[in-house]
Amino acid sequence: MRIEQLQAFLAIAQTGSFQQAAKKCGVTQSTISRQIQALETDVGVELFYRTSHAKLTLGGERLLPRVRKICQEWEIATQELTDLMIGKQPELCVAAIHSICASYLPPVLQKFCHKYPEVQLRVTSLGSDRSLKVLKDGLVDLAIVMHNRFLITGKEMVVQTLYDEPIEVLTSANHPLAKFTSIPWSELIIYPQVVFKDGYGMQRLIQDKFTELNAQLQAVLEVNTLDAFRAIVRQGELIALLPHSALIEAKNDPTLAVRSLANHNLLDNSNFHRRVVMVTTQDRLQIPPIQHFWQLVLENICFQLTNVGNS
């Protein structure tokens, strides 16, 4: 059973004529006849009396309201798909890590809303793992997260690297580590830390680094907001390892200190850093509003990073 057969059946019922139905459907009368014959074979009953006026049989009358609903639903579905592909969608949902929401996204959001005022933009601040999970579950259209090769595999995924940024140390202004310009790892590992909650990419990144150093991470407190990190570290006892973009406000706070990390190996010139990526799926990237948001992120983050580098 095909939708064209149901549409032919409905057209005949509405016009009372195979010939008029053919005109309505834009096909030949012989095509309409074949479609009805095939439909009657499928359902096992005759649907029309073949007279000068095509009249529904009892079976046809029983089938008509069902076919009408099916054809209406099909029309709605195809219109929704057409609207989707030309950019008419009710909302665009984005999940992003906290530092992105606080630093790089505000101008992107403003520009997108000017371009697509009819699209409801919904942005949720989540950890990387959770952001990728809701993307895979179809609850958001796009995610901006820390790179995790285990969570962004799959042929349907599109992954765009945005930037690499160093991990730095946040301490109180009077903490012993604040006296360093560049903190040695041998000094840092002595102190207890406040870290992101389990399931956040930053906690995993830090734990992996400590494992590499054969050191014990003293994670005594877990939080999930940048405000909480600053408030706790400000008390003077705990320190935090955070990405550069998460420390912009802290650098202007006289009660806090932000310090870089020294390389743990004199022969190793690589810095301790994280990679931030933007992720969506192949099919979503064909939708105009999503495609436009994707491009805005690329353009604005590159612009902001260039300005920071030149300042």
Reading the block at residue 49, the tokens are: 């009396």
Please write the tens of the pLDDT for every residue from 48-69. Answer: 988 778 899 999 999 999 999 9
- Does 232 share its domain with 207? yes
- Does 51 share its domain with 130? no
Q: Which of 179, 180, 192, 174 is nearest to 234 (CA)?
A: 174
Radius of gyration for the alpha carbons in the chain, expressed in angstroms and rounded: 30
pLDDT-derived band at 124 (thresholds 50, 70, 90) equals very high
Q: Assess whether pLDDT exceeds 90 at residue 297.
A: yes
Greatest mean pLDDT among 92-106, 152-166, 223-237 lies in 223-237
- Does 14 share its domain with 149? no
In this structure, are residues 155 and 145 in contact, taking their beta carbons and an 8 Å threshold?
no
Angle at 247 between CA 243 and CA 249, to 5 degrees: 160
- Does 233 share its domain with 161? yes
How many domains does the chain contain in total? 2
pLDDT in the model for residue 68? 93
- Does 179 share its domain with 255? yes
Q: What is the pTM of this model?
A: 0.72
CATH of the domain at 181: 3.40.190.290
**Domain range for 26:** 3-85
Burial class (CB in 10 A: 0-12, 13-18, 19+), 233: buried
Q: Assess whether pLDDT exceeds 80 at residue 206.
A: yes
Please write the tens of the pLDDT for every residue from 228-284. Answer: 999 999 999 999 999 998 898 899 999 999 999 987 654 444 579 999 999 999 999
- Does 74 share its domain with 183? no
Listed residues 85, 118, 145: the one ending a domain: 85
Residue 54 makes CB contacts below 8 A (sequence gap 6+) with: 12, 16, 17, 18, 21, 48
Beta bridge partners of 261: 183
The owner of tokens 């359902």 is: 43
Listed residues 69, 85, 101: the one ending a domain: 85
Q: Which of 209, 184, 189, 146 is nearest to 260 (CA)?
A: 184
Encode burial over 172-202: b for 16+ CB neighbours within 10 A, e otherwise. beebebbebeebebeebbebebbbbeeebbb
- Does 76 share its domain with 116? no
